[in-house]
Chains A and B, each alone.
With several copies, the nearest count.
Chain A
């Protein structure tokens, strides 16, 4: 029984890969708080063994599973930049901005039919788009355009290189 709960805790901490609060663990596992704390102590001790590359550390009344610091060098070597594709939502918004720039958020939302706030933040953070001015209408909305980084990534020398689309 204790083994099962410990195993479940391990699985939860692993899956989340982030701090999980004590109250949340108590609720998910349906065990008394004192017992949980007891189990956690045991579990932390087990991870402390040599031969284990992971550790569980208490953080802000919660617990976090992470790698032991001894292995930071080897891990640094193995950090392959995570390859990611843009989400479809981001890709569609980026395509719209590329072809219709400069363009405001409201215009993008009208065309896509969905909110684009989060996608825009994401594209800004990745340096694919930037604010290029404001539109001279009521509210002075920000205009967005693609960046130099966008051209570089897509192997374009200028926006004129974007393939013409049949109307």
Chain B
């Protein structure tokens, strides 16, 4: 009699496979692929309703097993004895995966036993929030940016929204703004510094166009002494 096991109880296809191997007392190094594939498929069939998202991974494994089964069934053409000796067992990859997975599953159980105190362990003093205990925050910009990227990557891809930009940015205004900025700074500034006066991309674009125009009109001179160095801007 086969008893129903909820597929959700398995933490992935490797877990289910391992369960079947252990239940049938099979040798991991010599898995009867045809047998295990049938068993595996049977389990998938008996689960009834399932969550497609979780099921996907189980189905990928099913396909892999079926493929493996057919490869093993097909007679190998022009086999010499040496070839058979040297041939890599197509099951090898699967065996390796199963062994790896089993190793970490065991390690996970070990961790859990430490958590519940079943494995002897030490306990640290719980850090209490003593008042007056000064805290120094360790921060770095790159982890902040990574955190932002992580959040953004997790976001479901949103429908692109058409946004009508508010307010117009005029290149002429920006040209005036640059001249005023230069005048305020003794007629000199640097490229990077100049761009601190804008806060949006659209403004930055307009500012850049304005700067090009001023250079063309020979109102502003741009120089760079060393490649990659900040460009120096000066009034003619």
- Interface set of A (CB-CB < 8 Å, partner B): 11, 14-18, 55, 57, 64-70, 72-77, 79-86, 88-89, 91-92, 94-96, 98-99, 111-115, 117, 121, 124, 126, 131, 134, 142, 152-158, 160, 162-163, 165-166
Contacts and interface: CB of A to CB of B under 8 A. Distances in A.
B29 interface: no
A95 B104 CA distance: 6
Interface string B64-105: 000000000000000000000000000000000100110111
A92 B137 contact: no
22 contacts: A17-B127, A79-B134, A82-B133, A84-B137, A85-B138, A91-B144, A92-B108, A95-B108, A95-B144, A95-B151, A96-B107, A99-B104, A112-B14, A112-B104, A113-B12, A113-B154, A114-B11, A114-B12, A154-B140, A155-B123, A157-B122, A165-B107
A57 B122 CA distance: 10
Interface stretch (B32-40, B113-121, B175-183, B221-229): B113-121
Contacts of A79: 123, 126, 133-134
Interface of B: 11-15, 57, 61, 97, 100-101, 103-112, 114-128, 133-141, 143-152, 154-155, 195-196, 199
A11 B125 CA distance: 9
